[in-house]
Structure 1
Amino acid sequence: MTQVETGPSNFIRNIIDNDLQTGKHQTIQTRFPPEPNGYLHIGHAKSICLNFGIAEDYPNALCNLRFDDTNPVKEDANYVAAIEADVRWLGFQWAGDIHYSSDYFEQLYAYAIELIEQDKAYVCELNAEQTREYRGTLTSPGKDSPFRNRPIQESLDLFTRMRAGEFAEGSMMLRAKIDMASANMKMRDPVIYRIRFAHHHQTGDKWCIYPMYDFTHCISDALEGITHSLCTLEFEDHRPLYDWVLANISVACKPRQIEFSRLNLQYTLTSKRKLNALVNDNLVSGWNDPRMPTISGMRRRGYPAAAIREFCKRIGVTKQENTVELASLEACVRENLESNAPRAMAVIDPVKVIITNYENAKTEQLIAPAHPKDESMGTRSVPFSAELFIDRADFREEANKKYKRLVLGKEVRLRNAYVIKAETVIKDEAGTITEIHCSYDPETLGKNPSDGRKVKGVIHWVDAKTNKPAEFRIYERLFLVENPAAVENIHEVLNSDSLIVKQGVVEISLADNQVEKAYQFEREGYFCADSKDSTAQHLVFNRTVALRDSWGE
């Protein structure tokens, strides 16, 4: 059996291909195992695409969604629901029912008993400070706990009583008996169970002892028949413990753990702990703030799921740690939206234009393409009257020849409409222009004026009589430095201009727009209606990405 070549080759797929060809495995099973203590971010998207992508590409392969829910203090059912929604939105479906590590609490407890009975685990009564002291350092070996050699029956009795809730938190723990002199700190008699009197979102108050990740994860993999357990490089030191646990309990399946490099993205945090701090400190509006690197935040901002999948495909899967340019992700978003986003017009900083030689009571319905390169998207009707709005930046009273927009005494073309000429301006007492009075040439409708004259500038506009007021949220990068994770005080590197709110107008065709539907607002960027705040009475559009990367400018 060989790989179905629908995904790019990498060292993990090479391992899988070899396992299939040698008969080690007949089918492949992977899993995506998030902890429900926060929202998924772009780094998780890489893992999702890898694990579910493998399941899609190999015959009869499966990928489980399993929640690593062994720490009830930090976990929440709301995070579970958000993670499920993110995986589905990215375009993937897990095999069968959702799994939880808590589904296996009874089996995990039984395997812990097995280790105690083999004298490979013991109940230890050192406190946290003493445990750290006894563990040693990277350059010096650890010391045996004074409880390491307590009788098997005594540990069995104490562990049973731990489960019954007889002891206080922190007073006892179950540790694997491995090697306190190991060069790998993870193998120095790691804790595999601790006491926690906390309500669990799945099991309620049934348990007051909870297994640790390194004990739980490998056994959960084995119980589900996982063949290849894919995780990021920070778990490389955990692999010997993963293998040790499976080798010393009576479980038949022996999954293989394989590590790959995590996704490090410029100007981005991918630590759930630090992202949680941003939320708790009210530096962002929530986990789904469009400036957050969470999947839900990117979705709300307007990133297409297909663009995120393409980005994960392009960066590939290796063991080499590196940092990816944020511009690479934004390029994938632009490429997708360039092809798929219909066009519309919006004026973000409006100033009124009065066309003095246009019949005041008249309103035309001009026809504009929904997409200039895709006729299948059809056309849209755009009202045109004697009063229009253009962007304030598109007019100057005086300008040099490089300025291709409207200048007093000169002409410019209105997108999909007429050529106009600025004649005079009206200003308020502060000297701010409130109206631009223009004339128009009725013979210039469309791209090819009948008189053949060339007008270099083209600007967008919105009819002033028939439009919808809208709020525009212009998003930029949340941090000013490429590696915010290395900064001790994150407040010092926050970009104060990461969100700028403006009030403007959109063409009337967007009155019934769909939430999260992408549009290219011509000459402004790609936008979508905000899924949380936009209503029919108050339109709110998020800028997904600019038309080009102008961050460096």
Structure 2
Amino acid sequence: MSDSKTITQTPSNFIRGVIERDLANKSFEGKTWAGSPGDASHHRKAPIDQAKIRTRFPPEPNGYLHIGHAKSIFLNFGLAKDYEGICHLRFDDTNPEKENQEYVDSIKSNVSWLGFSWEQNKTTHLYFASNYFDFMYEAAESLIQSGYAYVDKQTPEEIRINRGTLTEPGKNSPWRDKSIDEHLTWFREMRDGKHPDGSMILRAKIDMASPNINLRDPAIYRIKRAHHHNTGDTWCIYPMYTFAHPIEDALEKITHSICTLEFEDQRPFYDWILDRLIENGLLSKPQPRQYEFARLNLTYAVLSKRKLIELVEDKHVTGWDDPRLPTLEGARRRGYTPEGFKLFTDRIGVSKADSWIDFATLEESMREVLNISCERRIAVLDPIELEITNYPKNQDEDCFAPNHPLKPELGKRVVKLSRSVWIEREDFMEEPSKQFFRLYPGNMVRLRYGYVVKCTSFEKDANGK
């Protein structure tokens, strides 16, 4: 990225202020790291973590990354780099139906292309949420045993109705106050595949009258018979993302869990899960803290993963790397650069206010970087032949063009000049308009890096061109 250093931009980023306050207040003093993710006992006797902060980029491997993800990648990896920390690459693969290895490989390639690594000091920080399934199950049983979770046998429609609305409280499930032993037995039966998909769920026991509807006994486990790309057919129950997310962060000793704004209402549940598992002795303090920022809303660009999948599967485009798509694979083929994305993300900053960014801002960032870093070349896209009638036949000569107009140290390249050359069709007009100063009958122009020529005549083909 050295070529873009001359482009300076001071990013607006409220999360930097949060991190600097946390470091000044020693909010994570005493945080230990055993060299790998783990529970309270795993980290208890470990040395003090040398990473001042830990962040994570946690994509779900159910599609290819798009331009919006570049903002999160630069944010999480960039903050870790700037504050002597470490950023983890974690695949949130808790939904087995939509995930596969193809997406995992593509995401890793994209992160590397943007200039970041999940390895530091010969240690990899590449993690999969599915590798924590055993602990998540243990955590769920712990919540049941301490009276903080229960198995609900209501139908999905009954759960929806009894959840209440934004203005009306919900109603307790008739299964909510059954004995702990009954709930534990039913949950183990769920694990052992004794009940059909959708017949039961495990719910957190919080408050069905909470004004935050996300705290009205949210689901934390469901039955789902599906092959998983990492764990195979080991499990027929899977944790919900909102339950798995805080646990993953805590096991990895994340300090700043940075999410987009749609998770703001989930933060109380994030904290509730961590508080209960710390209370039960499974996790330890200091616990991760979640912060939300506005996702990238880009004009004239479809960033919905669902819609992008539809475009690809219905063959409206040639694939995920089609340069018309706003995927990082497509952007790469289009000629976009990591340095351009860095300038773009610095320029738009990080805030909590939703706003729309003009696509032209992205293109301008790319042009600025390319203008500085790229050597020049000539291309004629819609050619017509120009014959220099007084130039000797069977002869050519070397003309010299600078490789970069602002960097003479890059030298020059040879451009061949001969009797026949090609020019853009739009550079000639038979009947020129008033402000047309290029080639037309009787007019003279200079060929770039060559001679001055005069149009003495022209010929058309059978189609009048």
Fold shared by both chains (TM-score > 0.5): yes
User: Following the alignment from structure 1 to structure 2, what is the Cα–Cα distance between the partners of residues 219 and 125?
Assistant: 25
Please state if 1:158 is matched with 2:186. yes
Indicate conservation of the 8 Å contact 1:31/1:64, yes or no.
yes
1:500 — aligned with what?
none
Q: Which residue of 2 aligns with 1:11?
A: 14
3-state secondary structure, aligned to 1:63: strand
- The answer to whether the 8 A contact 2:12-2:346 is kept is no
Report the residue type matching 2:312 in the other structure: V
Which residue of structure 1 aligns with residue 284 of structure 2?
252
Report matched runs for 1:119-268 at 5 Å. 119-249=147-277, 250-253=282-285, 254-268=287-301
For 2:433 and 2:193, the matched residues in 1 are separated by 81
State the secondary structure of the residue aligned to 1:425.
Answer: coil
Structure 2 CA distance, aligned partners of 1:33 and 1:387? 57
Q: Partners in 1 of 2:89 and 2:147 — Cα distance?
A: 34
**Which of 62, 74, 79 lines up with 2:86 in the alignment?**
62
Q: Deviations over 1:485-517 (max 9, x none)?
A: xxxxxxxxxxxxxxxxxxxxxxxxxxxxxxxxx
State the shift of 1:31 in Å.
0.5
1:367 counterpart SS class:
strand
SS in 2 for 1:292: coil
Equivalent residue in structure 2 for 1:76, among 81, 100, 112 = 100
Provide, for residues 119-151 of structure 1, a one-character-per-residue CA deviation record: whole Å limited to 9, x for no partner: 111111122222211111112111111111121
Counterpart in the other structure of 1:25? 28
Output aligned runs, 1:342-491, within 5 Å: 342-432=375-465
Distance in 1 (CA, whole Å) between partners of 2:12 and 2:438 is: 49
CA distance in 2, matches of 1:105, 1:38: 22
Q: Distance in 2 between matches of 1:382 and 1:7?
A: 41
Task: Return the alpha-carbon distance in structure 1 between the equivalents of residues 401 and 464 of structure 2.
Answer: 36
From 49, 68, 76, give the equivalent of 1:43. 68
Could you tell me whether the CA contact under 8 Å between 1:162 and 1:209 is conserved in 2? Answer: yes
* Matched residues, number: 426
Alpha-carbon RMSD across the aligned residues, in angstroms, is 1.4
Report SS of the residue matched to 1:99. strand
Measure the CA separation in 2 of the matches of 1:408 and 1:323.
Answer: 49
1:330 and 1:94 map into 2 onto residues whose CA distance is: 28
> Quick check: 1:55–1:62 contact (8 Å CA) kept in 2?
yes
SS of equivalent to 1:388:
strand
Q: Find the residue that maps to 2:387 and give its secondary structure.
A: strand
In structure 2, distance between residues paired with 1:429 and 1:290: 36
Bigger shift: 356-365 or 225-234? 356-365
Structure 2 equivalent of residue 117 of structure 1: 145
- Percent identical among aligned pairs is 53
Judge conservation of contact 1:260–1:318 (CA < 8 Å) in 2.
Answer: yes
Q: Deviations for 1:269-292, whole angstroms, at most 9, x for unmatched residues?
A: 222112212222222222221121
Cα displacement (A) at 1:8: 4.0
Q: Secondary structure at the match of 2:210?
A: coil
Encode CA deviations 1:467-496: one digit per residue, 9 max, x unaligned: xxxxxxxxxxxxxxxxxxxxxxxxxxxxxx
Report how far residue 400 of structure 1 moved: 4.0
Q: How far apart, CA to CA, are the structure 2 residues paired with 1:90 and 1:108? A: 32
2:34 matched to which residue of 1? none
Quote how far apart the aligned CAs of 1:7 are.
7.1
2 CA distance for matches of 1:82 and 1:411? Answer: 53
Residue in structure 1 matched with residue 134 of structure 2 by the alignment: 106
1:365 offset after TM fit, Å? 2.4
Aligned AA (1:135): R
The aligned amino acid for 2:182 is E
Distance across 2 between alignment mates of 1:429 and 1:51: 61
Higher relative contact order (CA 8 A, sep 6+): 2
TM-score of the two chains, using structure 1 as the length reference: 0.75
What SS does the corresponding residue of 1:382 show, helix, strand or coil? Answer: strand
Paired with 2:66 and 2:169, the residues of 1 have a C-alpha distance of 37
Q: Flag the structure with higher helix content.
A: 2
SS in 1 for 2:454: strand
Classify the secondary structure of the residue corresponding to 1:86. Answer: helix
- Residue identity opposite 1:282 in structure 2: K
Contact kept in structure 2, 1:7 and 1:53, CA below 8 Å: no
**Contact 1:7 1:57 (C-alpha < 8 Å) held by counterparts:** no
1:297 CA drift (Å): 1.1
Q: Which runs of 5+ in 1 are unaligned?
A: 1-5, 433-553
CA distance in 2, matches of 1:241, 1:271: 26
Letter aligned with residue 283 of structure 2: V
* TM-score normalised by L of structure 2: 0.89
1:477-516 to structure 2, matched below 5 A, reads: none
- Tell me what 2:328 maps to: 295
Equivalent position of 1:518 in the other structure: none
- Once residues 297 and 271 of structure 2 are traced to their aligned partners in structure 1, the CA distance between those partners, rounded to angstroms, is 28
Deviation at 1:349, TM superposition (A): 0.8
* Partner Cα separation in structure 1 for residue 409 and residue 126 of structure 2: 40
- Contact 2:12 2:348 (C-alpha < 8 Å) held by counterparts: no
Where 2:187 maps in the other structure, the secondary structure is helix
In 1, the alpha carbon distance for the partners of 2:147 and 2:463 equals: 86
In 1: Cα distance, 2:258 partner to 2:27 partner: 17
**Is 1:368–1:379's contact at 8 Å kept on the other side of the alignment?**
yes
Deviation (angstroms), 1:29: 0.7
Q: What CA distance in whole angstroms lies between the structure 1 residues aligned with 2:160 and 2:135?
A: 29
Please state how far the C-alpha of 1:223 moved relative to its aligned partner.
0.4
1:91-102 correspondence runs (5 A)? 91-95=115-119, 96-102=124-130
Cα pair 1:370 1:377 within 8 Å, conserved: yes
Any idea what SS the aligned residue of 1:248 has?
helix
Q: Tell me which amino acid in the other structure corresponds to 1:33.
A: P
Unaligned regions of 5+ residues in structure 2, if any?
Answer: 1-8, 30-51
303, 306, 309: which one aligns with 1:270: 303
The whole-number CA distance in structure 2 between the counterparts of 1:206 and 1:431 is 71
- CA separation in 2, counterparts of 1:144 and 1:327? 52
